[in-house]
Amino acid sequence: MAKLGLRSFIEVLDKNGELTRITKPVSTEYELAGIIEALRERPVYFEKVKESIYPVVAGLVSSKEFIARSLGVQKDKLLPKLSGAIEHPEPPQVIKRGACQEVVETDVDLCKLPNALHRKRRRKIHRVSCNNHQRPSIRQKHMFPSPHA
């Protein structure tokens, strides 16, 4: 059993029928989180997210079985594998070109990333506003409650 990268692990789950694909547009406001909860956190891939240009994947490490498979070990060998990695860390493998370099963003805008809202909060929390390409304030960046709420 080989260790899998993110893309290859998603492909294996899809091929084995263990990945639910949501092809209809889904909102980050309660809908996305609601579907994840309804699927009991099983692996799910949202192809179209209304408020983002990026797809969303969730539930890939929702069980010890999935974690073990992604690391290329049997479930009963997971704890020794993780303990061994902590006790004897290996230096990262340095490569000249990687999959992460296939798309290079020159104008980085974190507001393009999907920001799933799970539930309403009792206290009002400022959400990062991305309207009209405004830069969020420090208070918004760190999700501090407004002193006036």
Given a cut of 90, whether residue 120 has pLDDT beyond it is: no
Output the pLDDT for position 141: 43
Residue ranges covered by each domain of the chain: 1-89, 119-149
pLDDT in tens, 121-147: 555 544 555 654 444 444 444 444 444
Shortest CA distance to 127 belongs to which of 119, 112, 118, 139? 139
pLDDT > 70 in the chain, percent: 79
Across all residues in the chain, what is the average pLDDT? 82
Widest Cα–Cα separation across the chain: 55
pLDDT in tens, 61-107: 999 999 999 999 999 999 999 999 999 999 988 888 887 788 888 88
Q: Bridge-partner residues for 26, per DSSP?
A: 49
**CA 24 vs CA 13, 27, 47, 60: distances in Å:** 20, 10, 7, 20
Q: Name the residue type at position 35.
A: I
